[in-house]
């Protein structure tokens, strides 16, 4: 079920009413209800995927209990957690990466003159598999590292892994944050619910008006870049930069807002990343839940930045390449990760990676010239990365990029860009004004009539200005 | 909680009210039916025409039905192939008109590969602007064969246009319930794809003055401004020639006999275009692509000027769409010139008889 569908528009109010009015008296029942509706939500795509998520959840739940049972026997606990990690990653590997490895091995053997008929699997990629697998893994690792007590409450654990707002595209929650929220009785909080609704509204605007309108042009330009003018290729790259942000951060906003309606707090996943002054700041603000996951479970265990230079470089490359590969079984994602590691390394090695922690132009309406230049430069570097990310192959990414400079600059087609440009201007303006808040519509300090005007303007924009509806980009990851 | 629900209800009233009318219209129009259901309904009642106004269904419908029929004779191209009818051809062969199945030259190959159809004879229209470098650059798209007929998509993509059509009287609610056709266009105007894939221009045929190109005014405007399919150009797009070569090679390797033609413009329109001197690419196309047809031993006809094969302005639906009568005349030319393809078509005498009974566009039902 998509957040931007009529089905969800019916599903959400019904689930909300049942949750607060029918099953609200019993915590266990309320959690069980969450599991049921989450499985319904997920099974809407394909009910066969449910067995997979149930299997992943069960294995992780069991591993937690077994780790507890073998308390004091560290090597057994290690074997259990490694087994669970291997099992979960195997499921992910088969469904997401099998064909990639198979085909690439085939090509490798061909290079040495062995023509082998490699097996490829004709399987569907289960929606959001990378997200819930990582969420389940974090539980096992945290339990093993004694950061979290294992749960014996299967219903809560199943609810934690399958919680429908963030099930298919995050934020990737940590068990330490989300799981305890299932143990305590939730009370309806008016302010939280209103804030959740606002965040949903803004998320829908970002997805349906910004991202979907940009997608129309982007698909056209990336689909036939060989025929496009340099100017249009440049426009296409910028539009994809906003499309992916509107799409993914829009999803996160809807997810966080929806969770708030049910009394849950999810972590912030995007913190206005396009207002970053360098790449390090960008990575602290972009897909925060994934970045911190890799930091905590891969980068720090490898020694992080508290080791020798050579190892720091190695660790940085590893984390970015793995992060790229997490996005999909294609060399373009790996190259995208590699590109960002090259941008990030100089900052890390010169210890400038933590230079900008605060919001940009704090206390000022506009940035200084220096800040503006820094934001612009970072934005350009990120945009180049998105060309690699969006292209079908590394070769086509290169052709697209060089096409910007080698093709004739015109003609432009301003007609087809109008809606996207207007939507982007609104997005940048609103988010700039709200850059010190959790989300753009948090704490709107306006008279009620102006506030409601904003709500209606956004609703009407969604209804009348949305682009052709597309699925969320990050579902495929 | 109650206060929260009240506020939500008040906010929801406006969007719900706004959505209800388009929702009812879309549901009753049949535009959300799956392609399989549309095809099945048309099979059960061959008088039904399918004319969707809210989604771009043409290539998907044509691909799906071509896949199902896998006809002996397939017509493939843009809207400028849509007037070939099943009864123009020898009834011993199965026929389907997939006109509208493609909109760009690279899609010819995509269509055959995606649908896996393998006709004995393939008739294609090489729209002149496919070879205009300027048009190709401005209209390049990457088409995928995923048709999404979900209600949400239809609703949210068409809210504005539905209200616009209601305002202009182009959607009549009573007509929606009465007609058994599928799609808003078909229900309201009777326009749409017939069972054999050809297109029925009911509205223009019955009332030519309602055409948005009445007396070619719109076409002349496009020529004057150099826009849409009439973008000026002075060079042939070499990439388009390469794509055509690739496509013809595919057909040759799959033993598909190809008959191609440059589709006709109304004589008055053609004259005007030539007079402007802004379409010099057109005079270079034949020279650029004919060698390819000779290489594969395929046939290519140049029908660009409607007058060259005996048609006239009165036979045209609009400036660049001939009527069935125009297409009958084109066929007659083809049969006369090529004995091989003649075996697939009706004989010249029958074709001549058909032309004689077609009193210009008004009678081409």
- Asked if B140 has any chain A CB less than 8 Å from its own CB, the reply is yes
Q: Give the per-residue pLDDT at A223.
A: 80
Q: pLDDT tens digits for A162-189? A: 999 998 887 999 999 999 999 999 999 9
- Backbone angles phi and psi of A126, in degrees to 5: -60, 135
- pLDDT at A473 > cutoff 60: no
Q: DSSP letters of B295-351?
A: HHT-EEEE--BGGGGT--GGGEEETTEE-HHHHHHHHHHHHHH-HHHHTTBPPHHHH
Strands B121-125 and B257-262: parallel
Which tokens go with B362?
Answer: 């008004």
Alpha-carbon gap, residue A375 to A465, rounded angstroms: 29
- pLDDT at A190 > cutoff 70: yes
- The residue among A87, A90, A65, A88 whose CA lies nearest residue A77 is A65
- Asked if B8 has any chain A CB less than 8 Å from its own CB, the reply is yes
B4 min Cα distance to partner chain A (Å): 7
A460 to chain B: nearest residue by CA?
Answer: B15
Helix (H) / strand (E) element for B259: namely strand B257-262
Q: What mean pLDDT comes out for the span A40-62? A: 91
Among B4, B140, B239, whose Cβ lies nearest the Cβ of A194?
B4
Q: What mean pLDDT comes out for the span B90-109? A: 92
Helix (H) / strand (E) element for B163: namely helix B151-168
Among B142, B150, B160, whose Cβ lies nearest the Cβ of A219?
B142
Q: Give the per-residue pLDDT at B147.
A: 66
Where on the phi/psi map is residue B223: left (φ > 0), alpha (ψ -120 to 50), or beta?
alpha
Instruction: Provide the 3-class DSSP secondary structure of residue B132.
Output: strand
B150 to chain A: nearest residue by CA?
Answer: A5
> How does residue B341 score in pLDDT terms, banded at 50, 70 and 90?
confident
Which tokens go with B71?
Answer: 């006809």
pTM of the predicted model as reported, rounded to 2 decimal places? 0.80
In chain B, residues with a C-beta closer than 8 Å to the C-beta of A226 are: 239
- pLDDT at B95 > cutoff 90: yes
Residues B300, B285 contacting (CB under 8 angstroms):
no
Where on the phi/psi map is residue B33: left (φ > 0), alpha (ψ -120 to 50), or beta?
beta
- Asked if A20 has any chain B CB less than 8 Å from its own CB, the reply is yes
Among A5, A193, A197, whose Cβ lies nearest the Cβ of B152?
A5
Looking at per-residue confidence, does B301 or A326 come out higher?
B301
Q: Which residues partner with B305 through β-bridges?
A: B265
Q: Give the per-residue pLDDT at A474.
A: 55
A223 to chain B: nearest residue by CA?
Answer: B142
Residues B247, B253 contacting (CB under 8 angstroms):
no
- pLDDT at A20 > cutoff 80: yes
Q: Give the per-residue pLDDT at B169.
A: 82
Residues A403, A225 contacting (CB under 8 angstroms):
yes
- Asked if A396 has any chain B CB less than 8 Å from its own CB, the reply is no
Helix (H) / strand (E) element for B77: namely strand B73-77
- Asked if B235 has any chain A CB less than 8 Å from its own CB, the reply is no
What residue spans of B169-227 are helical by DSSP H? Answer: 173-178, 184-189, 202-206, 217-225
- The residue among B150, B142, B32 whose CA lies nearest residue A216 is B142
B141·A468 Cβ contact <8 A: no
Least confident of A7-21, A94-108, A426-440, B311-325: A94-108
Q: Which residues of B149-168 are buried (b: 16+ CB within 10 A; e: fewer)?
A: beebbbbbbbbebbbebeee
If DSSP states are collapsed to H, E and C, what string results for chain A? CCCCCHHHHHHHHHHHHHHHHHCCCCHHHHHHHHHHHHHHHHHCCCCCHHHHHHHHHHHHHHHHHHHHHCCCCHHHHHHHHHHHHHHHHHHHHHHHHHHHHHHHHHHHHHHCCCCCCCCCCCCCCCCCHHHHHHHHHHHHHHHHCCCCCCCCCHHHHHHHHHCHHHCCCCCCCCHHHHHHHHCCCCCCCHHHHHHHHHHHHHHHHHHHHHHHHHHHHHHHHHHCHHHCCHHHHHHHHHHHHHHHHHHHHHHHHHHHHHHHHCCCCCCCCCCCHHHCCCHHHHHHHCCHHHHHHHHHHHHCCCCCCCCCHHHHHHHHHHHHHHHHHHHCCCHHHHHHHHHHHHHHHHHHHCCCCCCCCCCCCCCCCCCCHHHHHHHHHHHHHHHHHHHHHHCCCHHHHHHHHHHHHHCCCCCCCHHHHHHHHHHHHHHHHHHHHCCCCCCCCCCCCCCHHHHHHHHHHHHHHHHHHCCCCCCCHHHHC
- Asked if A226 has any chain B CB less than 8 Å from its own CB, the reply is yes
Alpha-carbon gap, residue B327 to B198, rounded angstroms: 12
Q: Give the per-residue pLDDT at A81.
A: 93
The residues in A 186-225 lying below 8 A from B, measured between CB atoms, are: 188, 190, 193-194, 197, 208, 219-220, 222-224
Alpha-carbon gap, residue B55 to A425, rounded angstroms: 28
Alpha-carbon gap, residue B178 to B188, rounded angstroms: 10
Cis peptide before A344 (omega within 30 of 0): no
Alpha-carbon gap, residue A95 to A125, rounded angstroms: 6
Q: pLDDT tens digits for A229-250? A: 888 899 999 999 999 999 999 9
Q: What mean pLDDT comes out for the span A269-278? A: 95
- pLDDT at B109 > cutoff 90: yes
Number of residues in chain B: 365
The CB density around residue B101, as the number of other CB atoms within 10 Å, is: 27
Q: Enter the ipTM.
A: 0.76
Q: Cα angle vertex B208, ends B206, B214, to 5°?
A: 165
A327 is catalytic: yes
Among B18, B138, B155, whose Cβ lies nearest the Cβ of A411?
B138
Among B134, B138, B141, whose Cβ lies nearest the Cβ of A223?
B141
The percentage of chain A sitting over the pLDDT mark of 70, rounded to a whole number, equals: 95
B1 to chain A: nearest residue by CA?
Answer: A190
DSSP letter, residue B196: T
Q: Give the per-residue pLDDT at A311.
A: 87
Residues B67, B44 contacting (CB under 8 angstroms):
no
A463·B19 Cβ contact <8 A: yes
Give the CA distances from residue A203 to residues A24, A250, A450, in Å, rounded to whole numbers and listed in that order. 27, 4, 20
Angle between helices B238-253 and B107-115 (to 10 degrees): 30
Q: Give the per-residue pLDDT at B362.
A: 43
B152·A459 Cβ contact <8 A: no
- Rounded to a whole number of angstroms, the CA Rg of chain B reads 22
The CB density around residue A212, as the number of other CB atoms within 10 Å, is: 26
- pLDDT at B17 > cutoff 70: yes
Q: pLDDT tens digits for B176-229? A: 888 899 999 999 889 999 999 999 999 888 888 878 888 899 999 999 999 888
- pLDDT at B115 > cutoff 60: yes
- The residue among A330, A445, A261, A432 whose CA lies nearest residue A96 is A330
Mean of pLDDT over chain A: 88
Give the CA distances from residue B81 to residues A145, B58, B100, B125, B289, in Å, rounded to whole numbers and listed in that order. 69, 13, 8, 6, 19
- Asked if B153 has any chain A CB less than 8 Å from its own CB, the reply is yes
- pLDDT at B127 > cutoff 90: yes
Q: Give the per-residue pLDDT at B159.
A: 86
- Asked if A229 has any chain B CB less than 8 Å from its own CB, the reply is yes
- The residue among B217, B303, B312 whose CA lies nearest residue B267 is B312
B11·A208 Cβ contact <8 A: no
- Asked if B177 has any chain A CB less than 8 Å from its own CB, the reply is no
- Asked if B212 has any chain A CB less than 8 Å from its own CB, the reply is no
Residues B195, B71 contacting (CB under 8 angstroms):
no
- Asked if B1 has any chain A CB less than 8 Å from its own CB, the reply is yes
In chain A, residues with a C-beta closer than 8 Å to the C-beta of B142 are: 219-220, 222-224
A466·B156 Cβ contact <8 A: yes
| Residue located via tokens 């308390």 | A71
In chain B, residues with a C-beta closer than 8 Å to the C-beta of A228 are: 137, 140
- The residue among B295, B287, B298, B311 whose CA lies nearest residue B338 is B298
Q: How many CA atoms lie within 13 A of B298 on its CB side?
A: 29
Give me the sheet containing B257-262, strands edge to edge. B95-99, B73-77, B121-125, B257-262, B299-302
B144 to chain A: nearest residue by CA?
Answer: A223
In chain B, residues with a C-beta closer than 8 Å to the C-beta of A193 are: 4
Structure-derived torsion over alpha carbons of residues A421, A424, A425, A430, reported in degrees to the nearest 10: 160
A227·B136 Cβ contact <8 A: yes
The residues in A 234-293 lying below 8 A from B, measured between CB atoms, are: none
Q: pLDDT tens digits for A389-404? A: 999 899 999 999 999 9
A459·B140 Cβ contact <8 A: no
> How does residue A371 score in pLDDT terms, banded at 50, 70 and 90?
very high
Question: Exposed, middle or buried, A421 (CB in 10 Å: 0-12/13-18/19+)?
Answer: middle
- The residue among A217, A410, A420 whose CA lies nearest residue B137 is A410
Residues contacting A240, CB < 8 A, separation 6+: A214, A218, A222, A383, A386, A387, A390
A227 to chain B: nearest residue by CA?
Answer: B137
DSSP letter, residue B359: -
- pLDDT at A319 > cutoff 80: yes
- pLDDT at B347 > cutoff 80: no
In chain A, residues with a C-beta closer than 8 Å to the C-beta of B157 are: 466-469
Q: pLDDT tens digits for B37-93? A: 999 999 999 999 999 988 888 999 999 999 999 999 999 999 999 999 998 888 889
Alpha-carbon gap, residue A202 to A444, rounded angstroms: 12
A469·B160 Cβ contact <8 A: no
B155·A6 Cβ contact <8 A: yes
| Residue located via tokens 């025929």 | A227
- pLDDT at A100 > cutoff 80: no
Among A193, A462, A468, whose Cβ lies nearest the Cβ of B4?
A193
Question: Exposed, middle or buried, B296 (CB in 10 Å: 0-12/13-18/19+)?
Answer: middle
Q: Give the per-residue pLDDT at A285.
A: 94
Catalytic residue among A107, A287, A327, A340: A327
Residues A404, A234 contacting (CB under 8 angstroms):
yes
- pLDDT at A23 > cutoff 60: yes
- The residue among A309, A353, A315, A317 whose CA lies nearest residue A338 is A317
Looking at per-residue confidence, does A273 or B204 come out higher?
A273
Residues contacting A290, CB < 8 A, separation 6+: A134, A170, A172, A323, A326
Looking at per-residue confidence, does A62 or B204 come out higher?
A62
- The residue among B311, B318, B83 whose CA lies nearest residue B219 is B318
């Amino acid at each position: 079920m998509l957040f931007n569908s009529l089905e969800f528009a019916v599903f959400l109010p019904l689930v909300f009413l049942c949750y607060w009015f029918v099953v609200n008296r019993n915590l266990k029942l309320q959690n069980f209800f969450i599991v049921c509706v989450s499985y319904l939500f997920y099974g809407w795509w394909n009910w066969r995927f449910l067995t997979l998520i149930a299997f992943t959840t069960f294995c992780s739940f069991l591993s937690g209990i077994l780790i507890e049972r073998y308390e004091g026997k560290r090597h057994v606990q290690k074997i259990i957690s490694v087994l669970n990690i291997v099992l979960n990653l195997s499921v992910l590997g088969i469904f997401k990466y099998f064909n990639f490895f198979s085909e690439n091995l085939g090509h490798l053997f061909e290079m040495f003159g062995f023509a082998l008929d490699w097996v490829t699997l004709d399987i569907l990629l289960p929606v959001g598999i990378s997200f819930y697998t990582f969420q389940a893994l974090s539980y096992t690792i945290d339990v093993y590292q004694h950061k979290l007590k294992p749960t014996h409450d299967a219903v809560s654990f199943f609810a934690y892994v399958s919680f429908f707002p963030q099930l298919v595209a995050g934020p990737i929650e940590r068990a330490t944050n989300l799981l305890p929220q299932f143990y305590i009785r939730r009370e309806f909080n008016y302010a939280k619910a209103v804030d959740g609704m606002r965040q949903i509204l803004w998320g829908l605007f970002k997805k349906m008006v910004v991202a979907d309108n940009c997608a129309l042009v982007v698909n056209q330009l990336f689909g036939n870049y060989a025929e496009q003018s340099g100017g249009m290729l440049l426009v296409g790259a910028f539009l994809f930069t906003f499309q992916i942000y509107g799409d993914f951060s829009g999803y996160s906003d809807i997810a966080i807002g929806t969770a708030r309606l049910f009394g849950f707090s999810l972590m912030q996943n995007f913190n206005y990343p396009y207002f970053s002054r360098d790449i390090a700041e960008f990575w602290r603000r972009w897909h925060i839940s994934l970045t911190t996951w890799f930091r905590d479970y891969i980068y720090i265990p490898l020694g992080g930045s508290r080791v020798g230079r050579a190892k720091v470089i190695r660790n940085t490359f590893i984390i970015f390449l793995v992060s790229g590969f997490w996005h999909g079984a294609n060399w373009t994602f790996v190259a995208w990760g590699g590109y960002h590691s090259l941008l990030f390394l100089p900052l890390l090695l010169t210890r400038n990676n933590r230079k900008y922690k605060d919001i940009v132009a704090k206390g000022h309406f506009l940035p200084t010239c220096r800040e503006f230049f820094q934001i612009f430069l970072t934005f350009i570097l990120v945009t180049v990365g998105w060309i690699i990310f969006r292209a079908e192959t590394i070769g086509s990414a290169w052709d697209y990029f060089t096409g910007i400079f080698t093709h004739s600059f015109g003609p432009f087609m301003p007609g087809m860009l109008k809606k996207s440009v207007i939507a982007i201007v609104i997005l940048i303006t609103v988010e700039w004004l709200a850059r010190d808040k959790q989300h753009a519509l948090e704490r709107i300090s306006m008279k009620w009539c102006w506030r409601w005007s904003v709500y209606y303007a956004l609703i009407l924009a969604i209804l009348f200005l949305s682009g052709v509806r597309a699925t969320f980009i990050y579902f495929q990851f | 909680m109650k206060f929260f629900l009240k506020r939500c209800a008040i906010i929801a009233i406006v969007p719900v009210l706004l959505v209800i009318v388009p929702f009812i219209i879309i549901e009753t129009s049949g535009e959300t039916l799956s392609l399989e259901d549309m095809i099945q309904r048309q099979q059960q009642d061959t008088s039904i025409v399918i004319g969707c106004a809210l989604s771009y269904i043409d290539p998907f419908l044509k691909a799906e039905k071509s896949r199902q029929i896998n006809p002996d004779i397939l017509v493939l191209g843009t809207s400028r192939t849509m007037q070939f009818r099943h009864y123009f051809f020898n009834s011993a062969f199965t026929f389907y008109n997939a006109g509208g199945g493609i909109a760009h030259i690279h899609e010819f190959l995509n269509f055959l590969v995606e649908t896996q159809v393998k006709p004995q004879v393939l008739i294609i229209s090489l729209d002149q602007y496919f070879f205009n470098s300027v048009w190709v650059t401005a209209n390049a798209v990457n088409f995928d064969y995923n048709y999404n007929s979900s209600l949400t998509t239809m609703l949210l993509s068409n809210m504005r246009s539905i209200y616009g059509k209601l305002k202009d009287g182009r959607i009549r609610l009573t007509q929606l319930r009465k007609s058994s056709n599928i799609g808003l266009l078909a229900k309201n105007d009777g326009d749409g794809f017939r069972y054999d894939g050809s297109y029925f221009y009911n509205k223009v045929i019955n009332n030519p003055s309602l055409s948005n190109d009445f007396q070619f005014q719109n076409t002349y405007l496009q020529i004057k401004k150099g826009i849409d399919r009439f973008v000026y150009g002075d060079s042939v797009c070499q990439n388009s020639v390469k794509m055509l070569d690739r496509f013809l090679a595919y057909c040759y390797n799959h033993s598909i006999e190809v008959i191609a033609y440059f589709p006709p413009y109304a004589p008055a329109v053609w004259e005007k275009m030539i007079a402007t001197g802004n379409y010099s690419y057109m005079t270079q196309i034949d020279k650029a692509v004919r060698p390819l047809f000779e290489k594969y031993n395929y046939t290519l006809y140049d029908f660009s000027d409607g007058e060259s094969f005996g048609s006239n302005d009165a036979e045209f639906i609009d400036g660049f769409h001939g009527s069935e009568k125009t297409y009958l005349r084109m066929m007659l030319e083809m049969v006369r010139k090529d004995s091989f393809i003649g075996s697939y078509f009706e004989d010249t005498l029958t074709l001549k008889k058909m032309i004689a009974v077609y009193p210009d566009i008004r009678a081409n039902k």
